[in-house]
Amino acid sequence: MNPDHDRYLLAAFLPEDDRRALERDAEGDDAAREMVRASHELRAFIGEAEALRADAGSAPALAFLAAARLVSGRTDGAWDDLLERLERRLDDRPGARVTYDRLAARIRELEAASDAEAHFRRISGSDPPRIHRLRPLFAAAAVLLAVALTGVLGRALEDPVARAAHRSLVRSSRSTFRGTVTGDAAPYARAAAGRHVVLGLWPVYDRDLLASVQREIADPDSAAGWLLAGQLRLMLGDHDGARFALEQAREGGLEREASGLLELIPDGD
Amino acid sequence: MHHPELLGIDRLARRLPFALDAVDEAGAAFARWRRTGKKRDLAPVELWTYCYIRRYFLVRFAREPSFGVSELEDVVERAFRRVEEGRSALRSPERYARWTTVVCRRTYLNFVSRRRELTPVDRIAEPEADDPSAETLHDRAGTLHVLLAAVARLPSFLQPYARMRFVEGLEYEEIAERTGRPVATVRAYAHKAVLRFRSDGRFMRHVRERAGYESGPGGS
């Protein structure tokens, strides 16, 4: 992607006047026009997802929301959070809430009167696939084997970039405590505790703790803050985010420490 | 707010290795089975197809109190059989989910039309003018799922901004208020997210496919 043409990708997301101006600017430049076209495709796709929310008050959309809340299978947190938020919005619209509850009750009633698994078995002629669980004996053996292997290999398998980021973070922490780098020492201390070594064998990264420090320092306003953000992102395996943060730190004056980490990020990440 | 308990159909759907609305994974599972022809690879395809079809008809039946549970099972089976019979001719396996919703729609229209023939005219309800169809809603849910997955692949510092802007549809000012960041920063982050979307091959495949689909069929 040509960085000079990046701005055209934003065309469809801009207010009408700005969009038209950018589109006029793209005329006669095939690459720019291609970016404008891609922008509209992206906007249309994202708009379709928006339309599900916009329709959330209509009876069919309420029925869909009720069905999706009750039947979505194995989902990740983001999907469940979104549906829950859509459902919560109904509390401000009593009419829609009543309709939604009625539709959800109807779906439960239909499902209660029918055995979905037996029906599936009958029409497909096969049993539904099972979720494989290890038998207890095998499970115990697997755990022992895993313990032995991770004990031996734990350090060897540790992500060297994350390890280097932690070392760098500890160094930054010392500089901050000594006052050679300005900044609040508390996030460093917490982030440094985000890696510990169990029984001297297994390096463990506390992702929740690291993520919480990251949220705390979101969008830093100093080179030291960007360096810390970069170190945290490397420990969390977010190489793209780390590169961005470390470049800010380097531009902000912490060239040596930031460049050292940037060099460790694998190409193509 | 109610807390949804697990229904039999959801327990069944949880045996799938992916979410019911993960349309790209459903398409990949179908493509894999077509490639290998192995029974082991058919199992998730069959289960996804059944659960997806059944939920489609739950959405339809939820609004029709006179439709009975035996009719639900009957129409689910009809759609399942039609999918089973027709899917070998599908040219673009990645569109399996979308094509399944089309089959569901046709099956539903046939079902309603047969039912109407047996129902006195004065008992047939007038259709609502502005109904988004059940298949449109299923498609949009698939789109939303793809978008959420793309947001999850963004660098973590961009994710909350992209989620609020593109998934929740909040205005820049609202996001600025929620996050305590200046509007200009929020706008810059949302723009960065768009640039990242463009370089996300998985996401753009869906975007292009949808754009092609809207301008004309040709995959199924």
Give the C-alpha separation, B218 to A65, whole Å. Answer: 30
- B89 or A178, which is more confident? B89
- Among the listed residues A70, A62, A10, A12, the one whose alpha carbon sits nearest the alpha carbon of residue A40: A12
- Give the closest-approach CA distance of B91 to chain A in angstroms: 23
Is position A68 within any domain? yes
Residue of B nearest to A35 (CA): B198
Give the C-alpha separation, A94 to A179, whole Å. Answer: 58
Average pLDDT, chain B: 84
Tokens coding B170 = 């909040």
A47 and A70 co-located in one domain: no
pLDDT in tens, B177-199: 998 999 999 989 998 999 999 88
Cβ atoms of residues A82 and B148 within 8 Å? yes
pLDDT in tens, B94-124: 889 989 999 998 999 899 888 877 666 565 5
pLDDT in tens, B34-64: 999 988 889 999 999 999 999 999 999 998 9
Is position A103 within any domain? yes
The whole-number average pLDDT for the span A209-232 is 82
Is position A124 within any domain? no
A29 and A79 co-located in one domain: no
Range of the domain at A35: 3-55
Pick the last residue of a domain from A77, A94, A111: A111
pLDDT at B122: 61
The whole-number average pLDDT for the span B204-208 is 86
Preferred mutation among A71, A74, A76, A213 to probe B, highest tally of B CBs within 10 A: A71
Give the C-alpha separation, A14 to A17, whole Å. Answer: 8
Query: Considering only CB atoms, which chain A residues are within 8 Å of B144?
Result: 49, 52, 82
A25 and A64 co-located in one domain: no
Is position A129 within any domain? no
pLDDT in tens, A8-56: 888 888 888 888 999 999 888 898 998 899 899 998 888 877 766 655 6
- A5 or B164, which is more confident? B164
Q: In chain B, pLDDT over 70 holds for what percent of residues?
A: 85
Q: Which residues of B20-39 are buried (b: 16+ CB within 10 A; e: fewer)?
A: bbbbbbbbbbbbbbbeeeee
pLDDT at B129: 41
Q: In chain A, pLDDT over 90 holds for what percent of residues?
A: 17
Q: Do A120 and B190 touch (CB under 8 A)?
A: no
The whole-number average pLDDT for the span A216-236 is 84
Is position B202 within any domain? no
A50 and A99 co-located in one domain: no
Is position B164 within any domain? no
Cβ atoms of residues B167 and B151 within 8 Å? yes
Is position A179 within any domain? yes
CA A263 to chain centre: 24
* ipTM of this predicted structure: 0.81
Q: Is the pLDDT of residue B1 over 60?
A: no
Is position A34 within any domain? yes
Cβ atoms of residues B90 and B99 within 8 Å? yes
Tell me if residue A197 falls in helix, strand or coil: strand
- Running DSSP on this structure, what letter comes out for residue A199? T
In which element (H, E) is residue A195 found?
Answer: strand A195-198
Instruction: Give chain B's domain count.
Output: 1
Query: Considering only CB atoms, which chain A residues are within 8 Å of B166?
Result: 46, 49-50
Query: Considering only CB atoms, which chain A residues are within 8 Å of B181?
Result: 218-219
A161 and A260 co-located in one domain: yes
pLDDT at A112: 92
Instruction: Give chain A's domain count.
Output: 3
**Three-state secondary structure of chain B:** CCCCCCCHHHHHHCCCCCECCCHHHHHHHHHHHHHHCCHHHHHHHHHHHHHHHHHHHHHHHHCCCCCCHHHHHHHHHHHHHHHHHHHHHCCCHHHHHHHHHHHHHHHHHHHHHHHHHCCCHHHCCCCCCCCCCHHHHHHHHHHHHHHHHHHHCCCCCCHHHHHHHHHCCCCHHHHHHHHCCCHHHHHHHHHHHHHHHHCCHHHHHHHHHHHHHHHCCCCC
Q: Do B210 and A44 touch (CB under 8 A)?
A: yes
Tokens coding B80 = 């399942």
Count other C-beta atoms under 10 Å from residue B40's C-beta: 10
A180 and A98 co-located in one domain: no
Is position A238 within any domain? yes
Query: Considering only CB atoms, which chain B residues are within 8 Å of A211?
Result: 156
pLDDT in tens, A102-150: 999 999 999 999 999 999 999 999 888 775 554 556 666 766 666 555 5
A189 and A259 co-located in one domain: yes
Is position A269 within any domain? no
Q: Is the pLDDT of residue B208 over 90?
A: no
Contact residues for B138 (Cβ-Cβ < 8 A; gap 6+): A64, B52, B56, B59, B97, B101, B104
Is position B92 within any domain? yes
A219 and A168 co-located in one domain: yes
pLDDT at A197: 77
Question: Which of these ranges, A43-57, A82-96, A170-184, has the smallest mean pLDDT?
Answer: A170-184
Query: Considering only CB atoms, which chain A residues are within 8 Å of B76?
Result: 119, 123
pLDDT at A108: 93
Q: Is the pLDDT of residue A223 over 60?
A: yes
Q: In chain B, pLDDT over 90 holds for what percent of residues?
A: 37
* Alpha carbon distances (Å) from B148 to A78, A142, B15, B159, B196: 7, 35, 22, 10, 14
pLDDT at B111: 92
Identify which of A45, A58, A108 has the shortest CB distance to residue B206.
A45
Average pLDDT, chain A: 80
Q: Do B156 and A241 touch (CB under 8 A)?
A: yes
Range of the domain at B59: 8-131
Amino acid, single-letter form, for residue B108: Y
Cβ atoms of residues A21 and A46 within 8 Å? no
Q: Is the pLDDT of residue B144 over 90?
A: no
Query: CA geometry: angle at A50 spanning A48 and A54, to 5°?
Result: 115
A180 and A248 co-located in one domain: yes
Contacts A–B by Cβ distance under 8 A:
239
